[in-house]
Amino acid sequence: MKTIFTLAFSASLVALTQSSALAADATRGKQVYNKVGCYQCHGYEGQGANTGPRLAPEPMAVEGLSAFLRNAASTTMPPYSEKVLSDADVADIHAYLSTIKKPPAGKSIPLLNNP
Amino acid sequence: MSNDKPSVDRRKFLTAAAVSGAAAVSAPTGVGSAQAQGVAGFTKPPSAADMEAEIGQPVRIAATMKEEGGRPGSDFMVDVLRAMDIDYVATNPASSCRGLHESINNYAMNKKPELLTAMHEEIATAMAHGYAKVSGKPMGLLFHGTVGIQHAVMAFYNAWCDRAPMLVMSGNHGDAAHRAPGIPTTHAAQDPLAIARDFTKWDDQPGSLQASAESLMRACKIAMTPPYGPVCVSLDAHLQEGVANPSDKLRIPKFTRSAPPQGDSGAVKEAAQMLAAAQNPVIVVDRAARTHAFQGMLVQLAELLGAAVVDQLGRQNFPSRHPLNVTPRARGVIATADVIIGLELNDFWGIVNSYADVAEARQDKRAKADVRLVSINSRDLNLKANYQEFQRFQDVDVAIAADSEATMPALIEAVRAAMNGDMRAAAERRIASHAAATQKQSERFLNVDATYAWDASPISTARLSAELWNVIKDLDWALVSRDVRLSNWPHRIWNFDKPYQYIGDSGGAGQGYGMGAAIGAALAHREHGRFVVNLQGDGDLMYGPGAIWSAVHHKIPLLTVMHNNRAYHQEIMHVQRVGNWRDRGVDRAHIGTTIDNPHVDFATLAKSMGMEGIGPISDPKDLGAAFRRAVQIVKAGEPVLVDVVSQPR
């Protein structure tokens, strides 16, 4: 059973890598990100909160993201199967997260330098 | 705050009518005035017939005094409330309470106690809840029996869980042979406070005025003995509207608060020795600070031991920027602790164990297997069976059923006596280590974590908190709401160092607490001139938006900032989680959980009840100006609401 899962999971990763390389769509990825509720725990810009860690900017590799989504049972993260979030969706979400720019440095924001 | 001018004519009339009334009940037309004629010093009052002619309906002269010097029973009750130093009574008016209500209006002249008008008993109870945590004493509540108590009980449960004292007084018409048919009988009950008994400390239904004085006094005393909590007394309408005659020889008992229970000296010594010898001692603290003295004592204990402090934020227990405050990295600290002392914890099990809310829920031990545990907890003195707020049972090595604050001086002295030179040196090293980690963590919050989504719309909770801190940091401020739903950004950014700057949350997590509690807390802060901030959830406010009216009506200065994420957000995540467990996705998780389509316009809602409303604000660049304007309104003595459309957490 474990072998089957591993094989299937590996195949999924290959497919995901191929699809993300071909046609990842950041605009659609943002729509999917909101539609499937990623923002609920991670914020609309993936900034993270006490309900979920930061996802962006500089997101983890798409393969890692997919592995986490599919095998989230090891955390409190609800797992997203391919049935509810396709590999193409994951690639698009990753593309969206990759478009999020790095914020200004805290030292350059006066409000964050208040005593 | 209302300052009703006494009506001289009405006062004279009532007094005269009261003296005249002996025969009025049995002979309601005209006899009473004749009775009064022989009493020196009183003008002849209008007879029932005169009154009936004037107002066009049958009249009963209500206060029937059998003896010279007699007075309404509820006037006597007012004197009892004054003896207990009750300053305010929040109410939603009701027929079964009309006697006491009228006495507060016309005998007390609405001063000590002063009535606070609430739109719902749940709001009134939340007001008392917030007030108690700031003032350190109970507010009175005056509710209709049955339906009024039914409205209020969820808020009682919050107060019970949060250990907030309050004195609930309810009316009833217990005598079936004399009460009016129809609604008064529908609202009568044989055991009117049974519905609240599982989560109030004590209740009573006294049968006489003297018993009512003793009952109220006992109730107040119980409410104010740790663990604090709500108490209820049913004051039957016949007592309120009856007569206190001189021959009754009524006596108001002296109000003496019980000294809080202090820990057994042997157990305290054992705990101190355990802590002194620890390599990695940790103090976990929740609803421990009852007075302003506690925070200083906890600082003293922590610095003496070099102990990390994990603040569960039930009260203002420990300064947020203290080097030993390790709250944001609590899990790691707990995992390496060899001795943990819990002070007034509601959930010690949850501190040393973890629970993962996954498809097949997992429970694991978070602390080391050989960790030794000490508990000081007054809750152990007062548990009830039905509702499970006492959480999982956690076995400990030293259990002290006592009040933590009262025990603290003895514990500090015992720790000091137990520590030798090596232990003190080790404590110094721990302080240095924790301080370095805390400094690093603080820099990361400000320089890194807060910057993400800085310019986002909806507005990030970090940005909201930083903008708000910028306008209040130089004021004498206090936060009167929990900030966990803003990812604790205020506690990460603001400097909570004064013992009145924070009061924790609802306790029972029952919605509808926020605005009412903020109003009560702001009322208690008002006499000290403090600037009060309420971070208000949108879903919570919609349970009882009528609270806005009470803030305006009673002129309570308060800045309410809406954390308007347009959803019952916690519940979205729950539905989302289950949908994924079942492999059905989250496309429909918004159904039944979001508060949009339409969006609630909270600024307009506030304006509809006379409160200045600002917003909705979606662009973070507009926040600073909005907050500055709001500060000026609050400084002028008024409440104001700023609606901020925000990120979920």
Summarised one tens digit per residue, pLDDT across range A34-78 is 999 999 999 999 999 999 999 999 999 999 999 989 886 667 788
Q: Of B451, B469, B591, which to mutate for an interface test with A (greatest number of A Cβ within 10 Å)?
A: B451
Same-domain status, B526 and B610: yes
What does the pLDDT average to over B502-527?
97
User: Residue B459: beta bridge partners?
Assistant: B646
- The token pair at B604 is 């307009």
Instruction: Answer whether residue B303 is part of any domain.
Output: yes
Dist CA B454 CA A43 (whole Å): 12
CB neighbour class for A14 (10 Å; exposed up to 12, middle 13-18, buried from 19)? exposed
Contacts of B359 in chain A (CB under 8 A): 73
Same-domain status, B558 and B461: yes
- DSSP labels, B577-636: HHHHHTT--STTTTTTTB-TTTTP-HHHHHHHTT-EEEEEE--GGGHHHHHHHHHHHHHT
Same-domain status, B1 and B95: no
Q: Which of B121-135, B352-366, B516-530, B597-611 has the lowest mean pLDDT?
A: B352-366
Confidence of residue A79 (pLDDT cuts 50, 70, 90): confident
Instruction: Answer whether residue B614 is part of any domain.
Output: yes
Q: Which of B241-245, B294-298, B545-549 has the lowest mean pLDDT?
A: B241-245
Q: Looking at B223, B248, B273, which one is the last position of a domain?
A: B248
Centre a 10 Å sphere on the Cβ of residue B528 and count the other Cβ atoms it contains.
Answer: 12
Contacts of B573 in chain A (CB under 8 A): 37, 40-41, 51
Contacts of B648 in chain A (CB under 8 A): 39-41, 43, 49, 51
- DSSP labels, B231-299: EEEEEEHHHHSSEE-GGG---PPP--PPPPP---HHHHHHHHHHHHT-SSEEEEESS---STHHHHHHH
CB neighbour class for B475 (10 Å; exposed up to 12, middle 13-18, buried from 19)? middle
Same-domain status, B197 and B223: yes
The interface pTM score, or ipTM, of the predicted complex is 0.84
Contacts of B583 in chain A (CB under 8 A): 81, 83-84
Same-domain status, B432 and B456: no
Cβ-Cβ contacts under 8 Å for B398 (sequence gap 6 or more): B267, B270, B271, B274, B373, B374, B375
Q: What is the value of pTM for the model shown?
A: 0.89
Contacts of B461 in chain A (CB under 8 A): 49
Q: Please tell me the CATH code under which domain A2-102 is placed.
A: 1.10.760.10
Q: How many domains does chain B have?
A: 4
What backbone phi and psi angles, to 5 degrees, belong to B236? -60, 145
Q: Is the peptide bond before A103 cis (omega within 30 degrees of 0)?
A: no
Instruction: Answer whether residue B259 is part of any domain.
Output: no
Q: What percent of chain B has pLDDT over 90?
A: 86
Amino acid residing at B166? M
Same-domain status, B457 and B316: no
Query: Which residue range is the domain that position B190 belongs to?
Result: 72-248
Q: Of B452, B583, B591, which to mutate for an interface test with A (greatest number of A Cβ within 10 Å)?
A: B452
Q: Which of B447, B580, B587 sits opposite A35 (nearest CB)?
A: B587
Dist CA B561 CA B642 (whole Å): 5
Res. B446: pLDDT tops 90? yes
Q: Where are the domains of chain A?
A: 2-102
Q: How far is A97 from chain B (nearest CA, A)?
A: 12
- Chain CA centroid to CA B145, Å: 21
What backbone phi and psi angles, to 5 degrees, belong to B223? -60, -35
Res. A4: pLDDT tops 90? no
Rg value, chain A, Cα: 16
Mapped onto helix, strand or coil, the DSSP state of residue A61 is coil
Q: Looking at B419, B439, B459, which one is the last position of a domain?
A: B439
Same-domain status, B239 and B292: no
Q: How far is B458 from chain A (nearest CA, A)?
A: 8
- Contact check, Cβ <8 Å, A84/B454: no
CA within 13 Å, CB half, A37: 31
Instruction: Answer whether residue B127 is part of any domain.
Output: yes
Spatial CA neighbour of B505 closest among B314, B224, B323: B314
Parallel/antiparallel/unpaired status of strands B243-244 and B308-311: unpaired
Dist CA B477 CA B268 (whole Å): 36
Q: Which of B447, B576, B579 sits opposite A106 (nearest CB)?
A: B447
CA nearest B573 in A: which residue? A40
- The token pair at A106 is 């805290």
- Contact check, Cβ <8 Å, B454/A73: no
Contacts 24+ apart (CB under 8 A), B186-190: B186/B146, B187/B95, B187/B96, B187/B144, B187/B145, B187/B146, B187/B147, B188/B145, B188/B146, B189/B145, B189/B146
Contact A22, A96 (CB under 8 A): no
Amino acid residing at B403? D
Same-domain status, B432 and B349: yes
User: Residue B141: beta bridge partners?
Assistant: B90, B168
Instruction: Answer whether residue B255 is part of any domain.
Output: no
Dist CA B187 CA B95 (whole Å): 10
Q: Looking at B385, B413, B439, which one is the last position of a domain?
A: B439
Same-domain status, B511 and B454: yes
Same-domain status, B232 and B94: yes
Same-domain status, B177 and B29: no
Amino acid residing at B322? H
Contacts of B450 in chain A (CB under 8 A): 106, 112
Q: Which of B358, B463, B649 sits opposite A51 (nearest CB)?
A: B649
Same-domain status, B368 and B424: yes
Res. B8: pLDDT tops 60? no
